[in-house]
Amino acid sequence: MREINRILKKRLVWAILLLVLVSNGTIPNYAGSDEMFDEGIVKVSGIQLKFVNISIFQNVIDISDNGKVSIKSNLSSRNVNSVEIEACLQQLRNGSWVTMKKWSNISIGSNLELEGNCYVVKGYEYRLVSTGKVVNKNFEMEQTIFISDSKYY
């Protein structure tokens, strides 16, 4: 039964994506965008998406003068049992993004804040890729990905 629900859910997601493509002629691109998902509404390139369960998804990356990276990701939701965040610090190396460090956390309830620090080497671009997921009664309700602008250090 769970497998059938999972398959139906995937088909629904693809149908919605197809509907967005047909009606707008474009796919929203979060890559390179510092857009903040706030009050359940995302505005990117003139397209407005509304989340049902995610209220706020904020992500911050900062690199200090001595190479210390500080990340912070905050996810607030409604009508869910748990929230999850996975944040990956990536380095642009030889034209490809390589994950250097991962942080993740799960919280029972509807709010979660994830913070982390590490040091990086000079001469590269870095970015933060965060995935936020909300779960209700063991079913994934929504998931979204945030990709920050790259920062050179």
Q: For the segment 73-94, what is each residue's pLDDT rounded down to a tens digit?
A: 999 998 899 999 999 999 999 9
User: Does some domain include residue 101?
Assistant: yes
Residue 14 lies in a domain: no
What confidence score (pLDDT) does residue 53 get? 86
Give the integer Cα–Cα distance in Å for 130 and 146. 5
The total of structural domains in the chain comes to: 1
Query: How does residue 40 score in pLDDT terms, banded at 50, 70 and 90?
Result: very low
The confidence score (pLDDT) of residue 36 equals 44
What does pTM read for this prediction?
0.66
Phi, psi at residue 14, to the nearest 5°? -65, -40
What is the Cα–Cα distance from 79 to 9, expressed in whole angstroms? 18
Domain presence at residue 9: no
Q: Is 59 within 8 Å of 72 (Cβ atoms)?
A: yes
pLDDT of 23 over the 60 cut: no
Give whichever of 14-28, 46-60, 94-108, 129-143 has the largest mean pLDDT. Answer: 94-108
In a domain, 55, yes or no: yes
Question: Is 77 part of a structural domain of the chain?
Answer: yes
